[in-house]
Amino acid sequence: MKNSAIAKTASRGQTLRPGLLDVLLIGTIALAGSAISYLGYQSLRKAEALRREEIFSATVETVLSSVELELTRAVEVARNGGLMLELQPQLQRKDFNHYAQGLTRQLPSVQVLEWQPVVMGAERTQFEASARAQGLQDYRIVEPDEKTGAWLTAPARDDYVPVLYAWPEKGAALGFNLGADPLRMASKLKAASLAEPVASESFRILRGDIQASASFGFAITAAVLGEPDGTGSVKARAYLAVVIELPLLLQHAAGHANDGHLDLLVYDQAMSLSKPIYTGIGPDSDLRALTADGSVAELAAQAGDRIKSLAVAGRKWQVVLHPRPAYFAALPKAHANWVLGAGLLCTLLLMFAARHLQRGRRSLLLAQHNLLDERQRLQNVIEGTGAGSWEYNFETDEMRVNERWAEIGGLDPKAYAVKTGYDWQTDCHPDDVAMLKQTLLKHLSGERANYQVEFRRRHVDGRWIWVSARGKVLRRDARGRALTIACTMVEIGERKEAEARVLELNSTLEQRVAQRGAELEEAMLKLRQSQEELTRSQARATLNTLAAGVSHELSTPMSNSLISANTVAALAKEFAQAMAAGGLKRIELERFVGRVSEGSELVVRNLERALDLMQSFRQVATDQASEQRRRFDLRTSVQELLEALAPSLSLQPHRIDLNIPNGIELDSYPGPLGQVLTNLINNAYLHAFDGMEQGGVLKISAEAAGPNHVRISCRDNGRGMDAATLEKLFIPFFSTKIGKGGSGLGMSIIDNLVNKTLGGSLQVESAPGEGTSVHVTLPLMAPQVRD
């Protein structure tokens, strides 16, 4: 017992130990993989951040260098110009224009170049005359009137600083006394005291018409100093003002910023750090603090902006570069997260692979045991389907077959064995050999994925049997040549016989279809003839009904006429006897005349009634008996039809309401139209009012349906029809009253007359319990009836 327990414990330990080692291996892979992935992620993230900072710094440095270069050039232009003009005490207009023209070509951002001499009050008149003598017509020292927008002659002052020369002269504010403007003089006085060019505050550039342009700029003023006085101090004798337009000055810098997807903003620190003096904001920028007129109102620097301060001729400027969303989109893609994800994914894959190998190791023995069982199961499946199988090795020329393969050929499955050098062509029908070779070669060469063919195989008794073979190459060498092929083969003789019978039936199918088509054509011809005959029979039946009804109607007026005539004849006889007796009195004569007059009137009225009936019957009968075309009034024709039908309809407890206005005239066929209405009335009395003892109402109405058509409606309050009956309504010989007075042709005849003879259309609406409405739409002029 003790040894057994020890053996079980040892066995349990062997079972637990591999499981614990597997867990430790998986844990080690997870820990090592996660650590390596995280370290790679951190390293790559720092490298990517450094790379993005380098790109940003390089772009910013390019823009700032461009800004500094342009500002330095502008300051040097003012400095050099002041020094050069300082050597020309008597500067002439043409010399200044020549110098200014060359300067503006070299520096396009210089919009205005002005020479502003200091003029004492006592020298004003001479100064103005000298300016006019140089071609400046009407030159005078002026000052602007901001209220009226006009230039006014400057009042008397101790000194003036007027604009004498300007380039370009067109639109320049010549004669403008800057000495009266403390804001403009501040930078000039500073430039004179420092003997250095000084920049002014930014301003909208002022033209000669005192209208400010849309462009912002600033002026760099260089003082042109005179000779020292007795005290040794030096005063400015003139100023050279270089007016620079900011958009042109910063054009190249803004281009570099836009190429790098950056917004460029420039602030004058002495003015405001929320209102830039220049903005280069792209259309895709996220800076949208714009006023209604498009100018920038308040736009302070944002987090993440690159800011640099610049000294511009004595003023402090601040340059801000703001990255747009497109800047971040254009940066190199970050791969750190992908590296981390890929590392973790690889770790998971390694864990999964290790686990899979562990499971594979444990299941390997089980798979080996199951392999034999699987092979046996496959053999059982092949034998169960009745398929023969063969396998051929091209290297050893060895062929193996199962018992069913031999059995299909009529061989002894126990004793038969394939001999070396077996030639399969000897067992195939000669007509199938070429096809078999071609199909097999296509599969062996790789042109076809499978080998599949049907052919005739020799049976041991000499006959040929049909078989179907399916196979595939199992092994190929490095050059793609087949090494082993396996195939199954089943007998398909019964299927081939069935296919032959189908082919035989198909060969005679066309002949049988043609024969049946001829029979159907003959049947359809007979059916049409029968339908036409039934139509004529129904028309004759309608006439017989009319004749019987009219005969019944005529009997009353004719009987009354006969009685009245007999009464008058008896009175005449009595009167003759009284006259012969000689006892005739006047009162008897008057009574005789009165009774004869009454009898005569009664005879006349009854005969007139009979005559009216005969005329109506004659018209209806004529219309019913022919398809004669004529012009007729619709209401009159329908009234005549109803009068003809009145004798038979009066026996029913139902009524017909007629609502057809006068004046609807048709050029059509009243006979077919009367037959249509007669059938509709008969259908209503026979079907719609079936089971109704009283209260049945059929309303016949008509109304215009456009300029050339009329719509006749027959609505009853009868039983109605369900959807199934409505769907079969126009099928010949379909009737719910077959054997009870219904022929099943009424609606078929109506449809044929309306669509073909009268050239109209028919619509039926019905529902159970809601009655039936038949709408007949006819043209006012019917088409010609075709034979």
Residue 488 · residue 469 · CB < 8 Å = yes
Residue 104 · residue 113 · CB < 8 Å = yes
Q: Cα dist. 80→76, 86, 167 in Å?
A: 6, 10, 17
Q: Extract the tokens encoding 343.
A: 């590392």
pLDDT attached to residue 161: 92
Question: pLDDT for 57-98, tens place per residue?
Answer: 888 888 888 888 888 888 888 888 777 777 777 888 888 888
Q: What mean pLDDT do residues 308-322 have? A: 84
Q: Extract the tokens encoding 192.
A: 């004179």
Per-residue pLDDT at 316 exceeds 90: no
The helix (H) or strand (E) run that includes residue 436 is helix 430-444
The helix (H) or strand (E) run that includes residue 701 is strand 697-704
Per-residue pLDDT at 560 exceeds 80: no
Tell whether omega for the bond before 647 is within 30 degrees of 0, i.e. cis. Answer: no
pLDDT attached to residue 781: 92
> Residue for token digits 């169960």?
384
**508 against 240, higher pLDDT:** 240
The CA-based dihedral angle spanning residues 401, 407, 411, 414, taken in that order and rounded to the nearest 10 degrees: 70
Question: pLDDT for 652-662, tens place per residue?
Answer: 888 999 999 99
Residue 736 · residue 725 · CB < 8 Å = yes
Per-residue pLDDT at 709 exceeds 90: yes
Q: List residues bridging with 145 in a β-sheet.
A: 150
Q: What mean pLDDT do residues 364-390 have? A: 70
- Would 84-333 and 387-503 be classified into the same CATH topology? yes
Residue 686 · residue 652 · CB < 8 Å = no
> Residue for token digits 């005849």?
749
Averaged confidence pLDDT in the chain:
78
pLDDT attached to residue 632: 92
User: Which residues in 538-562 are b (16+ Cβ under 10 Å) and which e?
Assistant: bbeebbebbeebbeebbeebbebbe
Which CATH topology does 84-333 take?
Beta-Lactamase (3.30.450)
pLDDT attached to residue 110: 80
The residues spanned by each domain of the chain are 84-333, 387-503, 508-625, 630-779
**739 against 141, higher pLDDT:** 141
With a pLDDT cut of 70, the percent of the chain lying above it is 80
CATH superfamily assigned to domain 630-779? Histidine kinase-like ATPase, C-terminal domain (3.30.565.10)
pLDDT attached to residue 614: 62
Question: pLDDT for 712-729, tens place per residue?
Answer: 999 999 989 988 888 888
**591 against 697, higher pLDDT:** 697
**250 against 231, higher pLDDT:** 250
Which CATH topology does 387-503 take?
Beta-Lactamase (3.30.450)
Question: pLDDT for 1-58, tens place per residue?
Answer: 444 444 444 444 444 455 677 788 888 888 888 888 888 888 888 887 788 778 878 8
Which segments of 165-233 are extended strands (E)? 165-167, 198-199, 203-206, 212-225
Helix axes 493-507, 509-581, angle to 10 degrees: 40
Q: What mean pLDDT do residues 186-215 have? A: 74
Closest of 634, 639, 645 to residue 679, by C-alpha: 645
**293 against 771, higher pLDDT:** 771
pLDDT attached to residue 714: 94
Per-residue pLDDT at 538 exceeds 60: no
What is the value of pTM for the model shown?
0.40
Question: pLDDT for 403-435, tens place per residue?
Answer: 888 888 888 777 777 777 788 788 898 998 888
